[in-house]
Amino acid sequence: MIEYQEARRIAAMLAAVGEPTRMLVLHRLTERPHNVGELADLLGIPMVNMSHHLGVMRNAGLLEDDKEGRRVNYKFRPGVYVPGGDSPDVIGTILCGNYRVNILKEEAAAKSRAKVAKKSAG
């Protein structure tokens, strides 16, 4: 059983992962580190909003930043993201304490949703 403080830390990480814009950012960061402006352009949102989302993920312990002159590049903190997986359908895995969040390729995610829908329909 995990301690309460550890549960709070993990919950903050999962909450940071569980927001749509942040999910899109995490997908982009599986490719390589990006700076705020690049991510804002890729997602089509204002830089100030992107900075907020990156700050939430950094404060939750998912990301770290590196300054290169005036640019700040964001990447996964060491030990948080593992590229690849047990299946070729997995892009990588985000490690949130005792929990794992697999990032699937879009085709695999669609197959997984269809499988769940079929089971639910019964």
- For residue range 85-114, what is the model confidence (pLDDT) as tens digits? 888 999 999 999 999 999 998 877 777 777
Entry pTM: 0.86
Four-residue CA torsion sign, 76, 100, 20, 31: positive
- For residue range 30-74, what is the model confidence (pLDDT) as tens digits? 999 999 999 999 999 999 999 999 999 999 999 999 998 889 999
Return the structure tokens found at 7: 């549960």
Which strands form 90-96's sheet, in the order they lie side by side? 81-83, 90-96, 99-104
Task: Give the domains, in start order, of the chain with CATH numbers.
Answer: 4-121 (1.10.10.10)
Name the β-bridge partners of 71: 68
3-state SS, residue 78: coil
Query: Greater confidence, 34 or 115?
Result: 34
pLDDT computed for residue 117 by the predictor: 75
